[in-house]
Amino acid sequence: MQREYRTISRISGPLMLVEGVEGVKFEELVEVELPNKERRSGKVLEIDRDKALVQIFEGTAGIDIPTSKVKFLGKGIEFPLSLDILGRVFDGLGRPKDGGPRIIPEVKRDVNGAPINPYARNYPNEFIQTGISAIDGLNPLVRGQKLPIFSGSGLPHNHISAQIARQARVLGKEEEFAVVFGAMGITFEESEFFIKDFTNTGAIERACLFINLADDPAIERIATPRVVFTAAEYLAFEKGMHVLVLLTDMTNYCEALREVAAARKEIPGRRGYPGYLYTDLASIYERAGRIKGRKGSITLIPILTMPEDDKTHPIPDLTGYITEGQVILSRTLHRKKVSPPIDVLPSLSRLKDKGIGVNKTREDHADIYNQLYAAYARGKEAQELAVILGEAALSEMEKLYYNFAEIFENKYVSQGEYENRSVEETLDLGWKLLTMFPTSELKRIREEFLAKYYDKFKGETL
């Protein structure tokens, strides 16, 4: 029998101090009963002798000092798991939200998980075709990778992530897949967009959704990604599925974390975010990956909106240090109606080299993306130059690069939201663009590939 305490001594922001407690453990789950019989949950953030500092997920509104009752449950936050979680919608703490029955658990897991032993990891090297040229051709995604989308408010990041979820497949294989979707503090419309998209494509039956909307308790968001990964780990590593995890919007998650840190009067790091933000994000992101000897995989695409489109803001900055690359969206391209507006130059996939090449995509893939990058970068420079000096001042070669950059954006990067290009098509498109240049400019491509492909694509229309 758990003891009930009525010894709350202080409530401030999302935090509550309970005194005179005994046998309370760090990170233990807490249940509070309000005067109106409502129950809320929380967890122990710090325990100092007989004083426990508790963080309440649903907010402290309505909790009073004399009559509210506190119970310590002797365990961490757990999530009940079984295959029935597929096709269901939960709230940010993992409680059913769709009016369906409770999950009858096969197992229960602590949502914090445990770190994967680096020795047990398997290196992600299976190319995922997303059907988007700017990703497949230049920033290839592989199974088990974590590749965030750095976006800004008003940019179509949701459409891109939905397109990836819709089109992603591994070449030549039909395997069991699932989508685990975690929404933190997004609006009702955004969440509806995803649910509708999943429903239309039938993906909803292979999906498991955790929704914490903008008007749901903010502190609850701190648990959401952890619950998401508990579900993903179960599906991937116990049921052998290939799981795609979408988390949107990580910025809201970090803000909730900041709120708690501020309430605890911790010494803030950059922009008021706690000094352990990196460690905290890593404990989430690093749960993605592959494990030797297990069939499934977790591929993670977190979405975050950069405040003021600033890549050096702590959230994108620390995310970039943990994830294996990033896809950055550009407001300028979006204005130019390039869709998806992926800003190719600062985007990067760190795992690309292991996922492409002979037997995976095509032998010339690496050389092509190196060359396309270099050429596009030079084209962008030429464009900048032209802004200052006028187009007429460009040399013959600069003009060629100038035109290339334009065509590259409109034909290669830009494609329809429902256009699914195969990686072959993407690579061929790259060649068609590059044949604008004489071979002497294509220094990053091996001679053997120039011999094999250059003449084949020379002069082909785009």
Partner 1 sequence: MRKGRIVKVSGPLVVAEGMSGSKMYDVVRVSDKKLLGEIIELKGDLASIQVYEETGGIGPEEPVYSTDEPLSVELGPGLVEPIYDGIQRPLDLIKDLVGDYITRGVSLPALSRKKKWKFMPEKKKGDRVTGGDILGEVQETSLVVHKIMVPPDIEGTIEEIKKGDFTIEDVICRVKSDDGLHKLTMMQRWPVRIPRPYKGKLPPHIPLTTGQRVIDTFFPIGKGGTACCPGPFGSGKTVIQHQLAKWADAEIIVYIGCGERGNEMTDVLLEFPELKDPKSGEPLMKRTVLIANTSNMPVAAREASVYTGITIAEYFRDMGYSVAVMADSTSRWAEAMREISGRLEEMPGEEGYPAYLGARVAEFYERAGRVTCLGSDHREGTLSVIGAVSPPGGDLSDPVVQATLRVVKVFWSLEDKLAARRHFPAISWLNSYSLYTADLRDYLKKEVGEDFINLQRDAMRLLEEEAELEEIVRLVGLDALSPSDRLVLEVAKSIREDFLHQNAYHEIDTYTSLKKQYNLLKLILHFYYCSKESLQKGASITDIEKLKVREKIARAKYIIEKDADRITDLEREVEKETKAVKNA
In the region spanning residues 394 to 433, those forming contacts with partner 1, defined by CB under 8 A, are 395, 398
**Angstrom distance (rounded) from CA 262 to CA 258:** 6
Give CA–CA dist 300/148, Å, rounded.
8
Nearer to partner 1, 180 or 261 (CB): 261
Q: Is 295 in the site for partner 1 (CB under 8 A)?
A: no
Question: Shortest approach of partner 1 to residue 212 CB, angstroms?
Answer: 23
Q: Quick one: CA dihedral 54, 56, 59, 61, positive or negative?
A: negative
Binding to partner 1 (CB under 8 A) within 438-457 occurs at 440, 443, 446-447
Q: Contacting partner 1 (CB under 8 A), which of 36, 117, 359, 461?
A: 117
* Nearest distance in Å: CB 444, partner 1: 8
Kindly tell me which residue out of 2, 26, 108, 460 binds partner 1, with binding defined by CB under 8 A.
Answer: 26
From candidates 61, 65, 107, 393, binder to partner 1 by CB under 8 A = 393
**Binding of partner 1 at residue 107 (CB under 8 A)?**
no
Q: Considering only 113-121, 159-167, 180-188, 203-211, which stretch makes contact with partner 1 by CB under 8 A?
A: 113-121
Distance CA 177, CA 241 (A): 5
Name which of 416 and 438 has its Cβ closer to partner 1. 438
Answer yes or no: are the C-beta atoms of 282 and 254 closer than 8 Å.
no
One-letter amino acid for residue 55 of the chain: Q
Peptide bond into 340 cis (omega under 30): yes
Backbone angles phi, psi at 260, to 5 degrees: -65, -45
Which range of residues in 127-135, 251-259, 331-339, 374-382 is near partner 1 by CB under 8 A? 374-382
* Number of neighbouring beta carbons within 10 Å of residue 6: 13
Q: How far is the CB of 56 from partner 1 (least distance, A)?
A: 18
Q: Residue 148 carries which side chain, given as an amino acid letter? A: P
Q: Interacting stretch for partner 1, rule CB under 8 A, among 114-122, 200-208, 220-228, 414-422?
A: 114-122
- List the structure tokens of 440: 């002497």
From residue 17, alpha-carbon distances to 60, 73, 221 in Å are 12, 16, 21
Q: Which is nearer to partner 1, 191 or 297 (CB)?
A: 297
The number of residues that bind partner 1 (CB under 8 A) is 84
Residues 298-337 that bind partner 1 (CB under 8 A): 311-314, 317-318, 320-322, 324-326
**String of b and e for 374-399 (b: at least 16 CB within 10 Å)?**
ebbebbbebbebbeeeeeeebeeebe
- Stretch 184-203 residues interacting with partner 1 (CB under 8 A): none
| Using rule CB under 8 A, residue 289 touches partner 1 | yes
Cβ–Cβ < 8 Å for 296, 308: no
Restricting to residues 198-237, which ones interact with partner 1 according to CB under 8 A?
237
From the list 26-34, 80-88, 150-158, 413-421, the region that binds partner 1 by CB under 8 A is: 26-34
Asked if residue 241 lies in contact with residue 179, where contact means CB atoms within 8 angstroms, the answer is: no
Residue 320: both structure tokens together:
């970039």
The per-residue DSSP string of 222-266 comes to GTHHHHHHHHHHIIIIIT--EEEEEEE-HHHHHHHHHHHHHHTTP
x/- binding map, residues 235-264, to partner 1, per CB under 8 A? --x---------------------------
Rounded Cα distance between 453 and 368, Å, is 11
**Binding test (CB under 8 A) with partner 1, winner from 282, 339, 403, 457:** 282
CB of 409 to partner 1, least distance (A): 16
